[in-house]
Structure 1
Amino acid sequence: MRKTWFSIMALVLIFSMTLAGCSSRSGENSTNTANNTNQGTTDTATKDDNTDQAKTDSGGEKIRLTVYSTITEPKNQEMMKSISDAFTKENPDITVEFQFPGAEYENILKVKMAANDLPDVFDTHGWAIIRYGKYLADLKDEPWAANQTDTIKPVVTDKAGKVYALVMSEAKDGISYNAGILEKYGIAPPTTFNELMAAAEKIKTESKGEVTPFFLSGIDNGMIGGFLDLYATSQYISPATNDAATLLDGSFDWKKWTALAQKLLDMQKKGLINKDVLTAKYTDMPQRFAQDKVAFVFGAPSFADDVYKVNKDTKIGIMPLTTMVDGDTQTFSGGERYTMGAWKDGKHLEASKKLIAFFAKTENMTTIANATKLPAGLKGVPSEHEFSKFYDQFKDIRVFPYFDRVYLPNGMWDVMCKTGTALIAGDVTPEQFADKMKQEYDRLRNQ
């Protein structure tokens, strides 16, 4: 009896230890899973990762799509999220997680490309074919693809007909101007570079230096690079006789760059650029513009809302880039601004295409156009904002891809921005600038 009692107690003890062991391992697994999930992610991402395994009302697994965008304005980020919320209501089995990395966007995407682990949907920001092409699914069979604008179709469609991305907003960069200042001094929007310089001289002289014709920033030197990029197209690409072929095959005579660099330097020496160009920030410009202290800004009027915060009555106009060569016609530089492309190896490619198609709906494209104040990349999209009339007025103006994206190797943008700033600072001459461009062009092209 005593032996039997000990046998029973031994069995009970073994059974209890077995339960304790199972309970302990179960707890450890839960803790480790939670820790792994939280490492390197935000709370939102963790929440979405958990919902990835959630069940829909119909009992199926929920799909989570990750979307990366270059949009930086908070109000426009919320606008994009509101459209995706509407998509989720129609498609409760799909959740959408937006990421807006800001200045780190390109670096993050380069890392993801190297690992072949891209977001389900991502913004190609001007590099749909050249940089991201091999990672993107073909969207040519999507219902919206046949409705691309004539200016954007060649930018995101290759010779074989592959469509790389939906262009929600089409960039058309020329010159933004203070319409009130031009009216005050009786100046019509210039069409040639010489007319632009004459208008600048008139404004500087008649305002007794109170108005700066052009604003540039050496701190945010993309503004200096932007001037050079825009006018490189006008100087070397858009004229009937141009240097496009030699820039592509590597035989371009970089001594020709000296003339463009000299024009920028002349603008500074003549007092047509803000005197604090080397210390001014881009964020200084909207207030000065609103106070009628700046007449022209190279590029799109993406700063408009910041101007209106200071002076809601400021009148801003946009015009194509002035010609640089006699006999040429005006142009815009641009192509893709905000886009959606689908990662071809994504686990949820059909869901990604479905999301993109939802954003391509006319009502959603209209919302995006009105929010970004840019023309849509699809035909027949109505929009009403203060720049709509200008885009309608200039709808037939030629649009060229950004110069650096087609004709310069990767890495040259930074060279152009920094050396342009050094030129204004007096650290290099126009000739030395041209030599630097050739040296870096050859080096980066052969990497």
Structure 2
Amino acid sequence: MKKLFKTLVITAALTTIATGCGSNAASTNGAGGKVTLILFSTVTNEADQKTLTDVIQKFEKKNPTIDIKYNYPADKYEGMLRVKMAANDMPDLFDTHGWAKKRYGAYVEDLSKMDWVKNLDPAMDPILKDDKGKVYAYPLNQAKDGITYNATLLKKYDIEPPTTFEEFMTALETIKKKSKGEVTPLWFAGSDKSSFGQYFDQFLTPLLVTDPKQNYEKQLLDGTFDWSNYTFLPEKLKEMKDKGLLNEDVLTAQVPQMTDLMAQNKIGFIIGGGMLGPSVEQLNPNVHLGIIPMPVIQKGDKPVWIGGERHTLAVWKDSKHKKEAEKFIEFISQPDMVKEIAEGTSLPSGLTNTDAKNYYSKDYEKFKDSKVQPYFDRLYLPSGMWDVLGSTGQELLSGSMTPDQVSKKVGAEFKRLSNQK
């Protein structure tokens, strides 16, 4: 079986960037008339990588004249793709990871004439289509992010999954009290600043967008937003730390620890974490997780999912092998493949042509009437702000910044980065 990380592909990709030769020089017909497609994806979870790799191998078996060289460069993905965009040297197939129109729109082939488009989930239309009908990418799955909770612990402590921020705070305090400090109410892998970016980004939508009486979309888009309205979130994060509701090693904890700790019933809640369930189940089948939409912040508002596209595949518009690339997308858009990918990644399908079941299916069905709101940063923040959200979270919890200082810095960076457009 092919290794998940193809060193030769990474080396070749970096070499072509350095020499100025196009990646499609590596995808020209080889011996025996084979066509090689270069595929880049942002999948990092081992189960997701295996799922995508298995699907690729099934396609290659049915199409022996096409070889797909796949690459999962994890946190190096965006840097590598930015270099490739600058050189107009994109992979034949690549993941747009939430930026199908804004970042990659000028590089993608229009897929609107493909058969699968008629089965595209309408929730994906604003993210993958434009008003002229262009379809920017194929959705391998779609994100419905919220808060993941340890259902086993909540049942033990007689805690209902929270629907408001106030209930969320009460649930955290109840876990600390009833577990006598043995369970971390809210756990962050804080050595990775993106874990704090996730907290801010997911809660910004119910704070500033979804409630009609507290809607700041216009001000965010025209640059007049008063960032003192952001202070609520860093204040609450600091309050959680001061009350001992976060893990003691919040600034040094690492992502791989999360699965083990959750499987040991040592964690109550995780922000996001939608792909955690199957991994925990493998370690401890007696621990069950659930997922809920984002608790509301403004009184009278309704919970929403945060999401849109999770993993996609776009076809480079200048690829020499667009026909073969579209053939692969046609293959994975068949109902059996759609089902395999959705269930293998534990996320809802991006198409409506199959009834895929995954770890959180019951939760998604229970909250099927909750709307899906796009990730806040993708709509309202300039490029580079994700790092600002995360790093200020780290500075806040290290004690080097106050909540007010966090808001002022985020506002200043918003203005600076907006002016760089």
**TM-score w.r.t. length of structure 2:** 0.91
Out of 311, 333, 339, the position equivalent to 2:312 is 339
Contact 1:212 1:293 in 2 (8 A): yes
Question: Compared with structure 1, are the counterparts of its residues 167 and 185 closer, same or farther at alpha carbon in structure 2 (3 Å cutoff)?
Answer: same
Out of 180, 201, 217, the position equivalent to 2:173 is 201
Question: Compared with structure 1, are the counterparts of its residues 239 and 309 closer, same or farther at alpha carbon in structure 2 (3 Å cutoff)?
Answer: same
Structure 1 Cα separation of the partners of residues 161 and 192 of structure 2:
26
Structure 2 Cα separation of the partners of residues 216 and 168 of structure 1:
27
Out of 330, 343, 348, the position equivalent to 1:357 is 330
Structure 1 Cα separation of the partners of residues 284 and 299 of structure 2:
38
User: Is 1:179–2:151 an aligned residue pair?
Assistant: yes
Which residue number corresponds to residue 228 of structure 1?
Answer: 200
Which residue number corresponds to residue 263 of structure 2?
Answer: 290
**Structure 1 residue 49: Cα displacement:** 4.6
Which residue number corresponds to residue 17 of structure 1?
Answer: none
Which residue number corresponds to residue 53 of structure 1?
Answer: 30
Q: Which runs of 5+ in 2 are unaligned?
A: 1-10, 17-22
Out of 82, 93, 98, the position equivalent to 1:110 is 82
Structure 1 Cα separation of the partners of residues 267 and 59 of structure 2:
42
**Structure 1 residue 52: Cα displacement:** 2.6
Which residue number corresponds to residue 14 of structure 1?
Answer: none
Contact 2:277 2:288 in 1 (8 A): no
Structure 2 Cα separation of the partners of residues 141 and 50 of structure 1:
25
User: Is 1:162–2:134 an aligned residue pair?
Assistant: yes
Out of 387, 394, 412, the position equivalent to 1:439 is 412
**TM-score w.r.t. length of structure 1:** 0.86
**Structure 1 residue 38: Cα displacement:** 11
Contact 2:39 2:93 in 1 (8 A): yes
Out of 250, 263, 274, the position equivalent to 2:236 is 263
Aligned residues, how many?
402
Structure 1 Cα separation of the partners of residues 406 and 26 of structure 2:
50
Structure 1 Cα separation of the partners of residues 407 and 112 of structure 2:
41
Q: Which runs of 5+ in 1 are unaligned?
A: 1-35, 56-60
Which deviates more, 179-188 or 306-315?
Answer: 306-315
SS in 2 for 1:369: helix
| Cα shift readout 1:224-252 (whole Å, capped 9, x = no counterpart) | 11111100011011112301111111111
| Cα shift readout 1:79-102 (whole Å, capped 9, x = no counterpart) | 323222322333333221111111
**Structure 1 residue 165: Cα displacement:** 0.7
The alignment-based identity, stated in percent, is 43
User: Is 1:368–2:348 an aligned residue pair?
Assistant: no
Superposition map of 1:239-258 within 5 A: 239-241=211-213, 242-258=215-231
Structure 2 Cα separation of the partners of residues 79 and 226 of structure 1:
25
**Structure 1 residue 313: Cα displacement:** 1.7
SS in 1 for 2:294: coil
C-alpha RMSD of the superposition: 2.0
Contact 2:116 2:330 in 1 (8 A): yes
Which residue number corresponds to residue 303 of structure 1?
Answer: 276
Structure 1 Cα separation of the partners of residues 216 and 40 of structure 2:
36
**Structure 1 residue 348: Cα displacement:** 1.2
SS in 2 for 1:324: coil
Contact 1:172 1:300 in 2 (8 A): no
Structure 2 Cα separation of the partners of residues 113 and 39 of structure 1:
13
Structure 2 Cα separation of the partners of residues 180 and 246 of structure 1:
42
